[in-house]
Amino acid sequence: MSLMADPPGADRLSVRVRRGTSAWHEAAQRSGFLDALAAGRLPWEAYADLTAQHWFIYEALESAATTMADDPVVATFLFPELRRLPSLEADLRFLYGPAWSDHTAALPATTVYCTRLRDVAFRAATGFVAHQYTRYIGDLSGGQYLGPAIARSYGLDGDGHRFFVFAGVDPTSFKAHYRALLDAVPWSHAEQNEFITEVAEAYRLNIDMLGELQRRWS
Ligand code: HEM
């Protein structure tokens, strides 16, 4: 065995996707907008705008889950307990009032993101799971630090940041379960690569959206 051999389990999909997209994750972390919100350096409207952009993304993603529910792979990745749309609507109602939908509009980058979601996540399990993984596993990771920081910075106490709170979900054990599911998906090597490529694309779409929010609000 070579001293340079990959560690055991390196061919697992959960390890391949993390390793294959870590540079994209670093770029997402560097985008600045989320840090500025966490530090309270932007007006509250900037946070409300992020919430609005999330609404458009999760509306597309959670519709894809319904449309794709009969796909045998997607069927193993349906988690009603993760659904964010009801929480996002409660947050938007709190932030903008009952006529919240009059105040929300998708940014150009969000429209591009949703178009991509509609192209790939309604068509193939690789596309659906790629977008699901990037958003929800991100929400259950960095989101669990960002949520409380944003709440502190904008004086939110329960209402207005429900998006970050996954009632009844333990992030650590959920992520372990999700990674085990990823490792068990019966995808060919080509399908695994398609999934990893789409995760990179999903990071890029998030980075573009965060960049646009940053330019609008700073
Ligand atoms: C300031 C911004 C961010 C911070 C501080 C952050 C922080 C983190 C941390 C600490 C982890 C590791 C958690 C663990 O190993 O269990 C993680 C993982 C992850 N994050 Fe982020 N993140 C940020 C932005 C983002 C963005 C914008 C996305 C995409 C929308 C994202 C998606 C992910 C995903 C998919 C993982 C799981 C990677 C894996 O499989 O291990 N993150 N994040």
**Domain CATH for 60:** 1.20.910.10
State residue 1's pLDDT score: 40
Pocket residue to mutate for ligand 1, from 110, 113, 141, 150, most atoms within 8 A of Cβ: 141
Residue 162 lies in a domain: yes
Domain count, the chain: 1
Domain that holds residue 167: 18-217
Spatial separation of the C-alpha atoms in residues 214 and 20, rounded to whole Å: 26
Could you read off the pLDDT of 103-134 as tens digits, one per residue? 999 999 999 999 999 999 999 999 999 999 99
Residue 4 lies in a domain: no
Q: Are 41 and 214 in contact (CB under 8 A)?
A: no
| Cα 112 to averaged position of ligand 1 atoms, centre (Å) | 22
Confidence of residue 139 (pLDDT cuts 50, 70, 90): very high
| Cα 27 to averaged position of ligand 1 atoms, centre (Å) | 11
State residue 4's pLDDT score: 53
Residue 113 lies in a domain: yes
Q: Is 168 left (phi over 0), alpha (psi -120 to 50) or beta?
A: left
| Cα 99 to averaged position of ligand 1 atoms, centre (Å) | 33
Residue 157 lies in a domain: yes
Q: Report which ligand 1 atom has the smallest distance to the Cα of 22.
A: 38
Q: What mean pLDDT is predicted for residues 149-157?
A: 96
Could you read off the pLDDT of 8-23 as tens digits, one per residue? 788 999 999 999 999 9
Q: Are 121 and 61 in contact (CB under 8 A)?
A: yes
